[in-house]
Amino acid sequence: MVELIVLYPQPKDVDRFEEDYDRHLEVLHEKTGIPAGEKPYTVTRFLPGPDGDPPYYQMFAMPFPSTEALQATMASSGMQEVAADANRISTGGAPTILVGAAR
């Protein structure tokens, strides 16, 4: 099991990011064939801590059964469109993309 993680920096305009992100999730569903209402992913919004706002505003995480499955999905034209849209909505800088494996 591997997990795709996308970390979005603090946006310049939070309200605009929220609107854009809702549409971004619709694009994800459309381009990857995830049925409406299903969420095989999690979205976590980070809260301020003792030192103020964290460097990241939000995290998207989606598990895949294998590295090969993740690579195949990422190579698809639909997921390329999703990635381009993620860059478009991330007004605080480019999102950070990580791949993790459970230990």
**pLDDT (tens place) for every residue of the chain, 103 residues total:** 999 999 999 999 999 999 999 999 999 999 999 998 999 999 999 999 999 999 999 999 999 999 999 999 999 999 999 999 999 999 999 999 999 998 8
Measured N-to-C along each axis, helices 14-32 and 77-89 cross at an angle, to the nearest 10 degrees, of 180
Per-residue confidence (pLDDT) for residue 103, from 0 to 100? 83
Asked if the 2-101 domain carries CATH number 3.40.1210.10, the reply is no
11, 99 Cβ separation under 8 angstroms: no
pTM: 0.94
